[in-house]
Structures are given as structure tokens and as C-alpha cells.
């Protein structure tokens, strides 16, 4: 066996339990002449990471090995500098406005009526995820959502419709990876200089690096568990990966999302994330206000 193969097997042996339950992906065709890189690339693939994430892990492990002077299969890389993950306020680029480090219970809601209902129930962070092809309807719904949170203290993020959000005076905007990638530099600059907060969805290491490059207000990570609400291009991340992501992005507020119900709040919060986003746990509950109260109590109990 080669040294890289031996090291790869050592990594898998150390970390298989944390990342169990994912189908392996083919080893991506990236080349390197360092054993640490080749070992990490092979191990990440065996542990089920998609090709672009396996490449990120391999580069980070090689950087960690070079920085520390030795290869440690037990030390999963988590230093932002080894991944090249940009930090807020590092002086190397403009950052979006800050939001609370712990956003608490984060309700993702289908319309302005739901936004107002959950804001009045005391949910600290709410998001309007309104889907429509009618521009007029979108504008009216965003304005109604902004009006609905007035006097409640709730922080309102608008999903996708950033121009309407700015015009209506929303607290912030949430964008998916595709929307962020499609945003021209001048629009990104306009969004940043407006003072609105920005949250970005991520589904693995490569997407976290792209999100951090714009220094958003928070980073959302998911889907943690299987969800029927949205077709996902990647497998559920699981608690092991979520904990690793939370450690890597510790310089940002973090939001965990995807299939998280009341019974899973404790294990999810134990990973270190400061917020949990929910959809069905509220909108499908028989008594949404009571459900919101229980979920907020669960968060408070874990932090006590």
C-alpha cells in the first residue's frame, strides 16, 4: 500500500462514525503530489462527500499538514485559514451589516399573514419565502410583511426578492447559492451599501467558501435532515457534518435548516449553531403559536 492509501484509511477509521450514512462519491480527478492531499481526497470521497467538497477538504488537510508540520488523521481540518474561508471584518473586503450572533428560532413562512402571526407570537426571526411569478403580488406581499412585523421586535428577512425588500425597508435578505452567483457585482454592492443584512444558503464546504467570500451577515447550513419541502441536490448533511461546518464558520452567525423538528432541537443546538430555521414545525402544527412557544422554550433550555 502507498503512504497516501494508509493515511486515507486512517482518516476513514477516525471519522466514519461522524459522517456515516452517506453513499460514497467517485474520487474527483484532481491531482496533487502530496500524500496528505491524496489521502484526504480519497478519504473524503469514501466518507460520502461530493466531489467539490472532497476537493475543499483535501486542500485544507494539505494546508493544515504544512502549517502544523505533521499529518494527524484524527484532526479533521477546521481552521478557516486552511480552507481559505473569508472572515467578517478581516480587512480584506467589505462585509454586510451585522446581525445577532444567535438569531434564535427562525421561522420560514409562506406569506405576510404568517409572518405577522409568528412575529406576534414572539418568534425573534422570520423570513418571508413568497413564491409567485406576479411582480405586483410580490411587491405587495413584501410590503405587507414589513408592516406585519412593526412593533413586534421580530427581525424580517425576505427570500430572493432583494429589490422589493430594500424598497420596503426590510431588515434583511436571504439568497440561495444560485441567486447569489447570478447577482452582478454592482447589484451585490448596492445590496451591501443599503445596510440590509444578508443570509446565504449553503449545502457543503464549497458553497460555504463561496458564501463567505461576500462576508454575509449569517450563513445557513442544510438540509440537516431529509425534508419534503424542497428538492435538494445534495444528500442530508447530518449532525456530524453540521458540527464540522459550525466549527469552521464560527466567525459567522449560523442557521441550521432542513427537517428539524422539536425532538431534534437538542442535538442540533449541541453542534454549536445559534439558530434553527423551521417551516413545517410551525405552519403544519395544529396550534402554531403553541408550537412556537415550545420550540423557543427548547432553545432557551439548551442554552441555560
Nearest CA among 13, 56, 9 for reference residue 35:
9
Q: What secondary structure does DSSP assign to 265-286, as a single string?
A: HHHHHTTT-SEEEESHHHHTSS
Asked whether 272 and 246 are in contact (CB, 8 A), the reply is yes
CB-count burial class (<10 Å; 0-12, 13-18, 19+) for 245: buried
C-alpha cell at 274: 445559534
pLDDT at 25: 47
pLDDT at 29: 43
Total count of residues recorded for the chain: 304
Asked whether 168 and 196 are in contact (CB, 8 A), the reply is no
Q: Which residues pair with 70 in a beta bridge?
A: none
Q: pLDDT per residue over 220-266, tens digit each?
A: 999 999 977 666 556 789 999 999 999 999 999 999 999 999 999 99
pLDDT band at 286 (very low <50, low <70, confident <90, very high): very high
The rounded distance, in Å, linking the Cα atoms of 210 and 86 is: 9
Strand, helix or coil at 110?
A: coil
Nearest CA among 151, 158, 149, 155 for reference residue 124:
155
Does pLDDT of 288 surpass 90?
A: yes
Asked whether 295 and 146 are in contact (CB, 8 A), the reply is no
pLDDT band at 6 (very low <50, low <70, confident <90, very high): confident
pLDDT at 299: 92
Helices 3-15, 35-46: inter-axial angle, 10-degree rounding: 40
| Rounded alpha-carbon distances, angstroms, from residue 288 to 126, 127, 278 | 14, 16, 12
**Model pTM score:** 0.94
Does pLDDT of 136 surpass 90?
A: yes
Q: pLDDT per residue over 80-125, tens digit each?
A: 999 999 998 887 889 999 999 999 999 999 999 999 999 999 999 9
Determine what percent of the chain is predicted with pLDDT higher than 90.
Answer: 81
Domains assigned to the chain: 3-79 (no CATH), 104-303 (3.20.20.70)
CB-count burial class (<10 Å; 0-12, 13-18, 19+) for 162: buried
Asked whether 211 and 27 are in contact (CB, 8 A), the reply is no
Read off the pLDDT of each residue in 23-48 and give the average, rounded to a whole number. Answer: 74
Amino acid at each position: 500500500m502507498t503512504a497516501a492509501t494508509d493515511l486515507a484509511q486512517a482518516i476513514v477509521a477516525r471519522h466514519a462514525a461522524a459522517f456515516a450514512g452517506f453513499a460514497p462519491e467517485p474520487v474527483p480527478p484532481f491531482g496533487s503530489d502530496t500524500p496528505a492531499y491524496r489521502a484526504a481526497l480519497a478519504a473524503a470521497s469514501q466518507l460520502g462527500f461530493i466531489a467539490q467538497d472532497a476537493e475543499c477538504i483535501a486542500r485544507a488537510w494539505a494546508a493544515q499538514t504544512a502549517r502544523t508540520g505533521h499529518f494527524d488523521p484524527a484532526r479533521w481540518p477546521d481552521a478557516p485559514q486552511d480552507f481559505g474561508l473569508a472572515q467578517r471584518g478581516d480587512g480584506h473586503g467589505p462585509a454586510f451589516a451585522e446581525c445577532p450572533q444567535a438569531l434564535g428560532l427562525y421561522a420560514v413562512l409562506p406569506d405576510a399573514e404568517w409572518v405577522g402571526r409568528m412575529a406576534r407570537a414572539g418568534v425573534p426571526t422570520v423570513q418571508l419565502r413568497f413564491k409567485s411569478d406576479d411582480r405586483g403580488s410580490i411587491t405587495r406581499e413584501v410590503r405587507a410583511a414589513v408592516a406585519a412585523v412593526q412593533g413586534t421586535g421580530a427581525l424580517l428577512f425576505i427570500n430572493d426578492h432583494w429589490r422589493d425588500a430594500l424598497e420596503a425597508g426590510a431588515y434583511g435578505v436571504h439568497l440561495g447559492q444560485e441567486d447569489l452567483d447570478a447577482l452582478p457585482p454592482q447589484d451585490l454592492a448596492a445590496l451591501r451599501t443599503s445596510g440590509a443584512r444578508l443570509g446565504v444558503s449553503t449545502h457543503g464546504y464549497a458553497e460555504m467558501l463561496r458564501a463567505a467570500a461576500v462576508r454575509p451577515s449569517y450563513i445557513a447550513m442544510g438540509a440537516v435532515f431529509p425534508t419534503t419541502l424542497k428538492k435538494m441536490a445534495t444528500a442530508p448533511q447530518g449532525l456530524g457534518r453540521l458540527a464540522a461546518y459550525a466549527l469552521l464558520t464560527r466567525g459567522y452567525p449560523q442557521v441550521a435548516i432542513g427537517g428539524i423538528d422539536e425532538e431534534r432541537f437538542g442535538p442540533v443546538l449541541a453542534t454549536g449553531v445559534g439558530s434553527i430555521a423551521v417551516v413545517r414545525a410551525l405552519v403544519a402544527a395544529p396550534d402554531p403559536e403553541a408550537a412556537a412557544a415550545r420550540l423557543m422554550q427548547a432553545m432557551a433550555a439548551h442554552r441555560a
